[in-house]
Amino acid sequence: VIPGVRVGHYDGVSAIERFPMLMAGDATFMLVESDGQEGPFAFADLESREPIRGAPVFGLKKRPGWRIVFVEGLPVAVAARVPRAKQYGGLIDRIGLWPATLGFAALAALVLFAAVQLPTVVARLVPTGVERRMGDLMIGDFGGRVCNGPGGQAALDAIAHRLGAPDYVEVHVVKIPVVNAVTLPGGKILLFDKLLQQANSPDEVAGVMAHELGHAKHRDVLAGLLRQFGLSVVLGGLGGNVGGYTNAALSITYTRAAEASADGYAIDDLKDAHISPAATASFFTRLAKMEPQFGRAGTELSYLSTHPMSSDRARRFTTSVVKGETYTPALDPAQWQALRGICANDPKAKGLQFEF
Amino acid sequence: MAMGQETATDNGAFAFTGDWREYAPIAFTNLLLSIVTLGIYSFWARTRTRRYLWSHTRFIDERLEWTGTGKELLIGYIMAFCLIVVPLGLINLIVQGVVMRGHAGLGGLILVLLYFFILYLTGVAIFRAIRYRLSRTFWHGIRGGSDEQGLTYGFNSLWRSLVGALVLGLMVPWSMTTRWNLRWDAMSFGPHHFQANARWGPLMGRYLLVYLIPIILFVGIFAFGAFFAPRSMVPGASPPVALVIGFMIFIFGFYIVLGVVAISYYAAYYREAIGTLSLGPIEFGFTARTVDWFKLVLGNLALTFLTFGVGYIFVAYRNWAFFIRHLEAYGELHLDALTQSATRAPGQGEGLLDAFDIGAF
């Protein structure tokens, strides 16, 4: 027979503290006072709580407010029957702090790796039609800024055709005064008018289009969206800035890899279409001159930006020029004229204005 | 002290007996585990912190007990994330499409409605977090809670916030105190209801200071500029160093003065809000003055920045110690009359609050 032990006790019904004797059996115990007794309670139903001045405290499952405090310490016979003290939480207490830390760290690395890598695979499994509808939902017709001057679209389609663009890809020019081009979800490629004005030859436009076609064919945009969403869910628990910075750092590494591979596909496509990559190289060289001169810092900082430095890209296109190969211009002079005037000759094209 | 009758007196109805060296192992292991679990452990981390803080907080003769769990905080967060954050994100995507199609007006309207809805949910989130915390806080085996869900409070909070912003923001003290009263009047502990009677009148002096200081300082900038400008008008001359330094000191001083004035308003607000709060026979008081708040805020900033952010893990501890050390209570509480709360205890934690990343204090 286990001797009784005095405990401080609240029953969770009244606020008066009582000091019954805890009489332990094998799996259960009674709380005995001079004027009556309570129980039996199962040791297994006890929940470890924060100790008070070193005295162990236990609550009871499904009885909020019920608690016992071993004010005179925990007898060995009772200690063997009550649940272990909670420290870090059930799972970690069972396997130990350091094994748990290592296990969680490995799991976290795996989850982050999956969140960065899986979207590329998943994006290719999504039917292009679904991606197109998603793109329409997000972007629509770009608010009527698409230009359609006479002969322009035909010239644009001619380049796309020569570069072997798949059927679901659509190329348009929009009236936006920025030297840029974007690929939207659903294989919609938009060249900005300013880029056409800055280009010296149709071959330069073909190089940029080939780069964007690389993104479209490899579903980089959808993969990027999925990655952003996945990382924000996975890192959501880190809260505020920490999660945001980790997310940005991980996405940028991946974006840079995607940009470099899009350049690779652009070089291949230009080669197959017998369009010289030299023009694209000189286009990037001109852009490089426009970029501020950071010197050595420039090369370091370029890892922070999503696109590789223009000078690096120019070098890559230059080295891909094959000597003795017969290149033909991407467009004849008349087509090139029509393409450059696609916005200027379209009175209906709306300029960029945000009416908020 | 008679049996079953506890007297709260001004010398220490509340006491905090924690020691930061004792808390440090909890804080550091919390940080470690939160990092390696990509933040999921933070719900258990918060629970451990509260268990420590509550069990080292004495009210009259007995310590508080925190019975909340990490699991219920996690479930609350997941529910709020799926039911609120994901739909809001989707609506945001659609608004983007609407704007891109050139319907900027419609997009703007949806965004305004969305903003109101989030403001409404913020009120609900604050109400539900207080209710959850009271329902998990035990003293003498008795807990608190509320009979309301906070949905009505959300509407009240919404329109009061909007009215508060009207009249050039002059009604903010009215908005803050009436919202405080509304939410605390809905709370209870055991059989007793809280009663909040915060008045906005006594806060207006401090508030006008907050309100007028930026205006006065901006007038100051122009006076300053007018005084120095003629001397630096020599063509081609760069502005004198003294002018630049003077301007920088001015900008720096502007933010410090504005910060101190804002803190002085909040100090007055909490003294009024807690000082007029009662629970059955117990009346509360809060003694923190502007200088105390200033030391707390400055200490927290120094602790965080001088340790490159690691010291932030002690901020919750410092805030709680500050709160308890300045909290007072008066009156006689009859333990035989203190019976268990009849309110329904919520099943999960402060998920909405977590989902919106709103601070606890």
Residue-wise pLDDT tens digits, B242-261: 777 877 887 787 788 888 88
Could you count the other beta carbons within 10 Å of the beta carbon of residue B204? Answer: 15
Question: H/E/C letters for each residue in chain B?
Answer: CCCCEEEECCCCCEEECCCHHHHHHHHHHHHHHHHHCCCCCHHHHHHHHHHHHHHCEEECCEECEECCCHHHHHHHHHHHHHHHHHHHHHHHHHHHHHHHCCCHHHHHHHHHHHHHHHHHHHHHHHHHHHHHHHHCEEECCEEEEECCCCHHHHHHHHHHHHHHHCHHHCCHHHHHHHHHHHHHHCEEECCEEEEECCCCHHHHHHHHHHHHHHHHHHHHHHHHHHHHHHHHCCCCCCCCHHHHHHHHHHHHHHHHHHHHHHHHHHHHHHHHHHHCEEECCEEEEECCCHHHHHHHHHHHHHHHHCCCCHHHHHHHHHHHHHHHHCEEEEEEEEHHHCECCCCCCCCCCCHHHHHCCCCCC
Q: What is the pLDDT of residues B318-356, one digit of tens each?
A: 999 999 999 999 998 888 888 888 888 887 777 777 766
- A12 contacts chain B (CB < 8 A): yes
Number of CB pairs, chain A paired with chain B, less than 8 A apart: 128
- A93 contacts chain B (CB < 8 A): no
Q: Are A237 and B101 an interchain contact pair (Cβ–Cβ within 8 Å)?
A: no
Interface test with A, best of B38, B53, B72, B304 (most A CBs within 10 A): B38
Q: What is the pLDDT of residues B68-117, one digit of tens each?
A: 989 889 888 888 888 887 888 788 777 877 777 777 788 888 888 888 98
Least confident of A213-222, B6-15, B178-187: B6-15
- B212 contacts chain A (CB < 8 A): no
Residues 16-45 (A) with a CB less than 8 A from some CB of B? 16-17
The enclosing H or E element of A350 equals none
**Residue A161, helix vs strand vs coil:** helix
Residue A210, beta-bridge partner list = none
Q: Are A235 and B38 an interchain contact pair (Cβ–Cβ within 8 Å)?
A: yes
Residues 88-107 (B) with a CB less than 8 A from some CB of A? 93-94, 96-97, 100-102, 104-105
Under DSSP, the state recorded for A251 is: H
- A248 contacts chain B (CB < 8 A): no
> Burial letters for A326-350: b for 16+ Cβ neighbours within 10 Å, e otherwise?
ebebbbeeebbebbbbbbebbeebe
Q: Are B104 and A355 an interchain contact pair (Cβ–Cβ within 8 Å)?
A: yes
pLDDT tier for residue B1 given thresholds of 50, 70 and 90? very low
Residues of chain B with pLDDT > 70, as a percent, come to 89
pLDDT tier for residue B30 given thresholds of 50, 70 and 90? very high
Interface test with A, best of B100, B110, B332, B336 (most A CBs within 10 A): B100
- A240 contacts chain B (CB < 8 A): yes
Determine the distance in angstroms separating the CA of A78 from the nearest CA of chain B, rounded to an integer. Answer: 23
- A53 contacts chain B (CB < 8 A): no
Backbone angles phi, psi at A59, to 5 degrees: -100, 180
d(C-alpha B324, C-alpha B286), whole Å: 9
Tens digit of pLDDT per residue, chain A (356 long)?
678 899 999 999 999 999 999 998 889 999 999 888 887 999 999 999 888 888 999 999 989 899 999 998 888 888 888 888 888 887 888 888 899 999 999 999 998 888 888 888 888 888 888 888 877 776 666 666 788 888 889 999 999 999 988 888 889 998 887 778 888 888 888 888 888 888 889 999 999 999 989 888 888 888 888 888 888 777 766 655 666 677 776 776 677 778 888 889 899 999 999 999 988 888 888 776 665 544 444 444 444 445 556 777 888 888 888 888 888 888 999 999 999 999 888 887 766 554 43
- Chain A residues inside the 8 Å CB shell of B55: 49-52
- B38 contacts chain A (CB < 8 A): yes
**Residue A48, helix vs strand vs coil:** strand
pLDDT tier for residue B237 given thresholds of 50, 70 and 90? low
Tell me which residue in A64, A92, A97 faces B143 most closely, judged by beta carbons. A64
- Chain A residues inside the 8 Å CB shell of B340: 12-14, 65
Determine the distance in angstroms separating the CA of B146 from the nearest CA of chain A, rounded to an integer. Answer: 16
d(C-alpha B160, C-alpha B155), whole Å: 8
Is the predicted pLDDT of residue B307 greater than 50, yes or no?
yes
Q: Quick one: pLDDT at residue B76?
A: 87
Q: Are A239 and B36 an interchain contact pair (Cβ–Cβ within 8 Å)?
A: no
- Chain B residues inside the 8 Å CB shell of A354: 104
Closest-CA residue of B relative to A86 is B48
- Chain A residues inside the 8 Å CB shell of B138: 64-65, 67
Q: Are A235 and B39 an interchain contact pair (Cβ–Cβ within 8 Å)?
A: yes
- Chain B residues inside the 8 Å CB shell of A356: 104, 108
- Chain A residues inside the 8 Å CB shell of B40: 237
Tell me which residue in B52, B62, B139 faces A50 most closely, judged by beta carbons. B52
